[in-house]
Chain A
C-alpha cells in the first residue's frame, strides 16, 4: 500500500523519492536534509536512514545509519536486513550488506552498493519477536 510520497534531495547527483509501503509511528528523528524518514502508517515500525560520510551515489559503496522505532520508541536488538531491488530490471544488488546493531535503536548498514542508474526499491526487513514488517523506500539514482 502506498501511504505517502515525499521527495528528498540525497545528493547533487540524485534525488530520492520516498514512498512508504508499510510503516507507522512518528519519525524517530527530526527530519533533516540528510535523513530520509518513513511516514506514519499502518505498521508499528518507522525507519529513518542516511548515508554516512558521503552522500548516497550510484555504484559507490556507502554505509547507512539507520534509526528504527517500534511503537514510537527506539527499537534495539532487532533482526534487520536490507535489500535493494530494481523493479524495471528484475534483479537486485550484487551483494547483500551486513547490518550491525549499534544499540539504542540505531543500526549500521555496511557497504550498500546500488550499482546501476534507475529506480531502486530499498527494503528494510525488520523483526522483533513475532512482529515482522518491511519498510520500503524508493531511491532514484
Chain B
C-alpha cells in the first residue's frame, strides 16, 4: 500500500512537472507548429529603403506626416491621404470600394506595416512606398490635383516650405506663373486635358524641377508611413512565451486561438500565402474570390503600368542609382503571371480592417473564412490558379478557432501623435 501511495505521489509530481515543464509551454501545439510560430514572430525591423535617402530621417517623417493630413493637397480642398487611410479605421476607410472625390474600383488597403511590402497597390503597379504615395494625388477619383498644385502648396506655406528646404534644399521659385502654372501634369491618353496642355507648354528642365519636388513629397510621406507599424499583438507575446518557456506569456493566446493557429498552419492552409512575420508572402495570387464588377486583370496590368511608370525604381529618382530596381523591376515581367492575381495583404490587425479582398466584396472576416472553407460562388479557376485551393470543409468550431487566432494578430498601439496632423511640419524641440 505504501508503495502504491509513493508511486501515486511520484506520478502526480511527475505529471505536475510535465504540465509545468518549460519544454512544453503549449500542450496544444506540436513541435512542428511551435517551430513555425517561432518563424512568424517577432516582426523584424522595418526593412531599409535604399531608393529613399530620407526614409529614416525623423525630419522627413514629420514633414510627411503634415502632408499626409493636409487637405489642401486635393483639387476639391477636402481630401487628404487620411480621407481613405483613416487612423481610426485601421488606416483604411471601412468602405467596400474606396471613395474620395469619386468611387474607385478597388478597396482601400490598410497602411499597417506598409513599409514591409515589396509591391504597392493591389496589383503592384508601384515598386516603392514613395512612388505609391504620388499616384493618388493625380488620380481624379482620389485627390484630383496635379504635381504643380502640390508643389505650389508646399512653396506657398511658410511651415511646409521651411521643413522642405531644410531637408532638400531650396525650392524653385514658383512665383513665375508663366513658367510654373497653378495646375499641370502629364495626363495619359488625353493630351487635350488642360493639365496636360499646361504641362506640355513647360520647359523640360522646369518639368524636371517639379518632378523633383513631387518625388520629395512622396519620399517624406513614405518616411512617415514607415512608422505605422504593428508588431506586438497577443500572438507575438505568445511566441515570446514559447521561446522563453514562459507560461504567463503563452497564456496571451486562448486555447481556441491556439487551435486556430494549428488550423492556420495546417488544415486551413492559410500559411501558404500568409507566410512570414507580416503574414503575407508579399506576392500575388489568384484566390478565386468572385469579382463583383467587370473583370479586373490585377497583376498583369500592374506590371505593365509599373514598367511605364516614370517614378519607378529604375528612374533617376531612385536614390540608389537603380540598384534595387534592377533586382526587382527588371525581372518582374518575365515570371509566371495570370489574370486575376492580387497582392496578398498582411493579416496583422486584419480583424479591424473589414471589409476584405480587392473589391471589398466580402464584408466580414467570418465570411472570408467561410469562403475558403466552401469555395461557394468561387470564380472559375484560371490557367495557372493555385491548385491547392480546395474546399477546406471547416466545422463551425474550427471557423471560430481560426477567427480567434486572427483576432490575436491585433495590435493597434501606436503613438497618438502619429495619428493626427502635427502642429508643425518642422521637427523642432518645441513642436509636438
Contacts and interface: CB of A to CB of B under 8 A. Distances in A.
A58 B385 CA distance: 21
B272 A118 contact: yes
Interface in B326-383: 327, 331-332, 334-337
B1 interface: no
Interface string B265-276: 000000111011
A7 interface: no
Contact of B331 (A89, A95, A116): A95
Nearest to B273: A116
A135 to B, nearest CB: 21
A96 B333 CA distance: 8
Interface string A94-137: 11111000000000000100011110000000000000000000
B332 A90 contact: no
B336 A92 contact: yes
Contact of A116 (B39, B272, B327, B334): B272
Main secondary structure of the interface of A (DSSP, over half): loop
Interface residues of B, number: 22
Given A115-B281, A117-B271, A89 B276 contact: no
A116 B285 CA distance: 11
Nearest to A90: B387
A116 to B, nearest CB: 6
Contact of A88 (B332, B334, B388): B388
A94 B332 CA distance: 7
Chain A, interface residues (CB within 8 Å), range: 20 to 34
B282 A96 contact: no
A58 B275 CA distance: 10
A95 B334 contact: yes
Nearest to A118: B272
The residue in A58, A94, A118 that gathers the most chain B C-beta atoms within 10 A of its C-beta is: A94
A111 B327 contact: yes
Given A91-B336, A95-B334, A59 B275 contact: yes
Nearest to A93: B335
A91 B386 contact: yes
Given A59-B275, A111-B327, A95 B332 contact: yes
Contacts of B336: 91-94
Contacts of A34: none
Contacts of B39: 13
B275 A89 contact: no
Interface in B286-339: 327, 331-332, 334-337
Contacts of B276: 59
Contacts of B183: none
A90 B385 contact: yes
B103 interface: no
A82 B252 CA distance: 45
The residue in A58, A91, A116, A118 that gathers the most chain B C-beta atoms within 10 A of its C-beta is: A91
B384 interface: yes
Contacts of A97: 331
Interface of A: 13, 58-59, 61, 88-98, 111, 115-118
15 contacts: A59-B276, A88-B388, A89-B386, A89-B387, A90-B386, A91-B386, A91-B387, A94-B336, A94-B337, A96-B331, A96-B334, A97-B331, A98-B331, A116-B273, A116-B275
Interface of B: 39, 271-273, 275-276, 281-284, 327, 331-332, 334-337, 384-388
The 10 closest A-B pairs by CB, nearest first: A90-B387, A95-B335, A95-B331, A96-B334, A92-B336, A94-B335, A91-B384, A115-B283, A94-B283, A89-B388
